[in-house]
Chain A
Amino acid sequence: ETGVTQSPTHLIKTRGQQVTLRCSSQSGHNTVSWYQQALGQGPQFIFQYYREEENGRGNFPPRFSGLQFPNYSSELNVNALELDDSALYLCASSLTSRGQGANVLTFGAGSRLTVL
């Protein structure tokens, strides 16, 4: 059983640029959630994808967007990067019914984004 893998592990961008982060979910999981973890803070929910559709969104602007693919892998895209976007981006996969009911989130190690 493979866990959640994320890429890249680290990246540096400048303000205004765009970034794509990738996630492969754990085998057997059908739902992917993305969280942003600023330094010294807990993870904040960005959005969740179930059956290739967005299934819930946190308090993040539309320049944060995502995709889920038929194999349940996922991408997080952030446009027009701002300095405050610097954070650890965590992908978590789970097994849910219609996108709800997960009690166990399996997290990847994260992608650490620095915006200069």
Chain B
Amino acid sequence: QKEVEQDPGPLSVPEGAIVSLNCTYSNSAFQYFMWYRQYSRKGPELLMYTYSSGNKEDGRFTAQVDKSSKYISLFIRDSQPSDSATYLCAMRGYNFNKFYFGSGTKLNVKP
């Protein structure tokens, strides 16, 4: 079993839709959760960072963490064609020196 599982998609939605991206994980030691966006032929860029359980909002993006279920989500409101990219979840434990990444979900927002 992989440490982090993520549906690879692709996920295709019309412009303006609400998008839900999800990851599950198996290691209860994970405490820090991140979402990265990766455009084609580019390196990942950090979108959201959350510590432990709860919600965090930043503009059109909301990150949710449910540690009891080992489940994290990223919601994108009013999705735009420029949001078309691969979204990677990542996580680490306290004092860990490495991040564990999901395999990424490819999102396509159609105009």
Contact = CB atoms under 8 A, between A and B. Distances in A.
Interface of A: 4, 33, 35, 40-45, 48, 55-56, 58, 90, 92, 96, 99-110
B49 A100 contact: no
Interface of B: 4, 6, 8, 32, 34, 36, 41-46, 49, 51, 88, 90, 92, 95-104
Contacts of B95: 100-101
Given A99-B97, A103-B49, A42 B43 contact: no
Given A40-B8, A42-B103, A103-B34, A48 B44 contact: no
B104 A42 contact: yes
B85 to A, nearest CB: 14
A37 to B, nearest CB: 8
Main secondary structure of the interface of A (DSSP, over half): loop
A41 B104 contact: yes
A45 B49 contact: no
A30 to B, nearest CB: 13
